[in-house]
């Protein structure tokens, strides 16, 4: 995630093998956190089956799950 002046962010998405053609939606919350939700998970998130926080990139980075701190997915 790259931060820009004015509080805007850009996120680079690198899909897992076999998911290269899956679209992703990037959402920025009122609290300026950024979430990236794959298209096939959106319905599950909306239904409450998956927790939206699983896709909160800002929190994942602050918890050390970024390329600078880990090679594993959370």
Kindly write down the DSSP assignment for every residue of 14-48, as one continuous string: -PPTT-TT--EEEEE-TTS-EEEEEHHHHHHHHTT
- The set of residues, in sequence order, having a beta carbon less than 8 Å from that of 16 and lying 6+ positions away, is none
Residue 74 lies in a domain: no
Q: Please indicate, yes or no, if residue 23 is contained in any of the structural domains.
A: yes
- Enclosing domain of residue 27: 2-62
Residue 18 lies in a domain: yes
Domains contained in the chain, number: 1
> For residue range 8-58, what is the model confidence (pLDDT) as tens digits?
778 888 888 999 999 999 888 777 788 999 999 999 999 999 999 999 988
Instruction: Confirm whether 72 is domain-assigned.
Output: no
pLDDT at 45: 94
Q: Which residue has the tokens 């998405």?
A: 13
Dist CA 74 CA 66 (whole Å): 9
Is 29 domain-assigned? yes
69 is a domain residue: no
Q: Does any domain span residue 42? A: yes
pTM score, whole prediction: 0.76
């Amino acid at each position: 995630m790259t931060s820009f002046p004015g509080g805007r962010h850009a996120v680079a998405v690198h899909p897992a093998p076999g998911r290269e053609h899956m679209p992703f939606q990037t959402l920025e919350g009122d609290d300026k956190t950024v979430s990236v939700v794959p298209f096939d998970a959106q319905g599950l998130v909306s239904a409450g089956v998956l927790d939206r926080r699983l896709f909160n990139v800002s929190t994942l980075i602050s918890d050390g799950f970024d390329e600078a701190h880990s090679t594993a997915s959370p």
